[in-house]
Structure 1
Amino acid sequence: MQLPDQPSDELHRLATLRAYNILDTLPEERFDRLTRLARRLFNVPIALVSLVDMNRQWFKSCQGLEVQETPRDISFCGHAILGNEIMEVPDAQEDLRFHDNPLVTGEPNIRFYAGCPLVVTDGVKLGTLCLIDTVPRHLTEEDRQLLTDLACMAEQEISAMQLATMDALTQISNRRGFEALAQHALGVCQRLGLPASLLFFDMNEFKAINDNLGHAEGDRALRDFARLIQCSLRNSDVVGRLGGDEFAVLLTNASAEETQHALARLEGKVGEHNQRDGRGYPLRYSVGQIDYNGRDPVEIGRLLAEADALMYAQKRGQRPSQR
C-alpha cells in the first residue's frame, strides 16, 4: 500500500479548508442531495463528499457508509487531491497503491473508485466528490463529464457556505470565521506545544476618511489595509476583519520575536503604500499583541479581549509604537 503524498501547498490548503468552517458540521440536505443523485446516476453503493483534513478524511455527505471519517493515510481521496483531473481506479485489487489497503481487503471492500477534486479559491483542493463500488468498472467519457458537473455543484455549495464566514468587502474571514478558525489553530498549538501570537489592529483616524472623503474611499482603505496585512504574513496565519476598522491576526508556531519581525514587515509595507499611494491620507493603525505559550487551554475570545485592551491603551497613550 502506498501512503498519499502531501500536496505542495499543504499548509495553505489546510488553512483554507479550516477557514471554510465546514469540518465536523452537521449533515445538510444540499450535499446529501448531490451524493444521492450521484449514487443513483452511477448505480454505485457509495457516494461521498470527502474533505481531506490533516490526519483524516471527513465526510460532509456520506451515502452508503456508516462511518463519518477514515484515516488519511489509507484514503483514496488523499491521492485524488494530488491531481487536477478525476482519479479513477478501475480495480483496486490490481492497483499497487491500493491492493492491500484495509479499505480494499476489508469493509467496505472497495474495488472501484473515482474521485473528482473539489477546487476552491486559488486552485486549492479541499477534497473530492467520489464514487465507490464493490465490483470493478470503468467510467465512460460521458460518465467523467457527469461526475465533473456534480463536483462543480458541490464546489458551488461549499462556496455558498463560505459566504457566512467571509467578509464581503475585504475577502478575508469575518469575526465568526476568524474565531472558529483561530480557536481550531490554538487547539493544534496546544496539542503540539507550539507558541502563537494574537494581534489586534484598529485603524487610526478611519472615521475622518469616511467623513471627509466618503464611504467608498473608506472601503478602499479597509481593502488596502487587509491586503497589506495578508502580504506581510505567512499564508498559514489566520487573518480576519472583526468589524468596522478592527482586524485580528493569529500567528501560529510563532515566537514573540518572530511576531515582531512580522509587525516590522507590515510597518514597512504600510509605509511604502503611504508614500506611493498619494490619495490624500495615510493608513495608520494601533496594535495590541498577546503571546500564547502553547501549554494551557485558552479561548480565542479571551485573547481577543486582552489584545483589544492593549491596543486601546496604545492608542490612548499615543506611544511611539503607534503606527
Structure 2
Amino acid sequence: MLVPEKPRDEVERLQCLRSLAILDTEREERFDRVTRLARRLFNVPMSTVTLVDENRQWFKSCYGAELTETGRDVSFCGHAILGDEPFIITDASKDVRFHDNPLVVGPPFIRFYAGVPLLYRGKYKLGTLCIVDHQPKMLNTDQIRDLIDLAKIAEQELSALHEATIDELTQISNRRGFIKLASESLQNCQKYDEPFSLAFFDLNKFKTINDQWGHQAGDHALKDFAMLISQSFRSSDLFARVGGDEFVVLYTGMEEEETRKAIHRFERSVDEFNRNQHRPYQLSFSVGLYTLPPGRRMNLEDILAKADSRMYLSKKS
C-alpha cells in the first residue's frame, strides 16, 4: 500500500481548512445535493465530499456508506489532492498502490475511484468530490468533464463558507468563524481533560498609525500582524481577528507556562519584522492570557472576557 505524501503547502492548506470551521459539523443539504447528483449521474453506489485533515479524511457529505472519516494514510483522496487533474483508479485491486489497501480488501471494498480536487481561494486543495464503485469502471471524456463541473459546485459552497467566516482584510478567521471552531475545541479539551489557553492580543497605537500615516497604512499593519500570527504558531492553533485591532489565539493542550513561551517567541518574531521591514511605524501589542486547567468547566465567552480583561490590564501597565 502506498501512503499519500503531504503537499508542499501542507501547513497553509491546513490553516485554510480549519479557518472555515467546517470539520466535524453536521451534514448540510448544499453538499448532500452534490453527492446525490453524482451518485445518480454516474450510477455508482457511493459519493463523498471529502476534506483531508492532518491525519484523517473527513466526509462532509457521504452517500452510500455509513462513514464519517477514515485515516489519511489509507485514503485515496490524500493522493488526489497532490495533483491538479482528476485522480482516477479503474480497478484498485489490480493497482500496486492500492491492491492491499484496507478500503479495498475490506469495507467499502473500493474497486473504482474518481476524485476531483476541491480548490480553495484558487490555490489550496482542501479535499475532493469523489465517486466510488465496488466494480471496476472507466469514465469517458464527457463523464470526466461532468464530474469536474460537479466539483466546481462543491467549491462554490466552500467559498460561501469562506465569505461567512473569514475576515475580508486579513484573510484569517473572523469572530464568527472563531467562535464556531473554538467551541468545538473547548468541548474536546473538557471531554479529555486537557488544558485550554486563550491569548487576547491588541495592536498598540493603531489609532496613531491611522492618524499619522493614513488608513492604508493601518490596513497594512493589521495584515502584517495577522501574517505574523499565522506564521508564528502551531498549525493546530486557532487564530482570528475578532475586532478592529483585536486578535485572539487559542492553544489546545498547552499549560500556561508553555503558552507564555509561545507568546514570547511571537514577540521576538514581531521585533525581527520591525527591524527588517522598515515600516514608518513599529508593530507592538498588549496581550492577556487565560488558561483553563484540566477538569475545570467554563464557556467560551467567559474565557474570552477573562483574557480580554487581562489584556486591558496589560495595556494600562
- TM-score by length of structure 2 reads 0.81
Question: How many percent identity over aligned positions?
Answer: 53
After superposing the two structures, state which structure 1 stretch, 94-103 or 116-125, moved more: 94-103
Instruction: Judge conservation of contact 2:62–2:68 (CA < 8 Å) in 1.
Output: no
> 1:203 is matched with which residue?
203
Give how far 1:159 is off.
2.0
Q: How many residues align?
A: 315
After superposing the two structures, state which structure 1 stretch, 121-130 or 216-225, moved more: 121-130
Q: Quick check: 1:181 aligned with 2:181?
A: yes
Instruction: Judge conservation of contact 1:56–1:69 (CA < 8 Å) in 2.
Output: no
Letter in 2 for 1:126: L
Instruction: Judge conservation of contact 2:65–2:108 (CA < 8 Å) in 1.
Output: no
Q: Quick check: 1:134 aligned with 2:144?
A: no
Change (3 A) 1:12 1:217: closer
> 2:66 is matched with which residue?
67
Change (3 A) 1:139 1:304: same
After superposing the two structures, state which structure 1 stretch, 175-184 or 294-303, moved more: 294-303
Distance in 1, matches of 2:260 and 2:277, equals: 25
After superposing the two structures, state which structure 1 stretch, 31-40 or 124-133, moved more: 31-40
Distance in 1, matches of 2:279 and 2:80, equals: 48
After superposing the two structures, state which structure 1 stretch, 276-285 or 161-170, moved more: 276-285
Instruction: Judge conservation of contact 2:2–2:98 (CA < 8 Å) in 1.
Output: no
Instruction: Judge conservation of contact 1:11–1:236 (CA < 8 Å) in 2.
Output: no
Distance in 1, matches of 2:303 and 2:260, equals: 18
Give how far 1:248 is off.
0.5
Give how far 1:250 is off.
1.5
Give how far 1:231 is off.
2.7
Distance in 2, matches of 1:66 and 1:26, equals: 16
Secondary structure of 1:243's aligned partner: coil
Give how far 1:278 is off.
5.2
Secondary structure of 1:163's aligned partner: helix
Equivalent runs, 1:1-323 vs 2, <5 Å? 2=1, 4-5=3-4, 7=6, 13-53=13-53, 57-63=57-63, 65=64, 67=66, 69-72=68-71, 75-81=75-81, 83-95=83-95, 109-120=109-120, 123-190=123-190, 194-275=194-275, 279-316=279-316, 318=317
Change (3 A) 1:78 1:228: closer
Give how far 1:105 is off.
6.1
- TM-score by length of structure 1 reads 0.80
Change (3 A) 1:85 1:191: farther
> 1:321 is matched with which residue?
none
Secondary structure of 1:7's aligned partner: coil
Distance in 2, matches of 1:280 and 1:43, equals: 62
Distance in 1, matches of 2:194 and 2:145, equals: 45
Change (3 A) 1:117 1:190: farther
Give how far 1:166 is off.
0.6
Secondary structure of 2:116's aligned partner: strand
Distance in 2, matches of 1:253 and 1:11, equals: 19
Letter in 2 for 1:7: K
Instruction: Judge conservation of contact 2:14–2:235 (CA < 8 Å) in 1.
Output: no
Distance in 1, matches of 2:261 and 2:117, equals: 37
Give how far 1:47 is off.
2.4
Distance in 2, matches of 1:10 and 1:292, equals: 30
Letter in 2 for 1:38: A
Q: Could you give the per-residue CA deviations for residues 86-130 of structure 1, whole angstroms, max 9, x where no partner exists?
A: 332222443466557675567655432212222335954332111
Letter in 1 for 2:267: E
Letter in 1 for 2:308: D
Letter in 2 for 1:32: D
Give how far 1:4 is off.
4.6
After superposing the two structures, state which structure 1 stretch, 187-196 or 44-53, moved more: 187-196
Distance in 1, matches of 2:83 and 2:253, equals: 29
Distance in 1, matches of 2:37 and 2:263, equals: 50
Distance in 2, matches of 1:142 and 1:192, equals: 49
Distance in 2, matches of 1:24 and 1:260, equals: 29
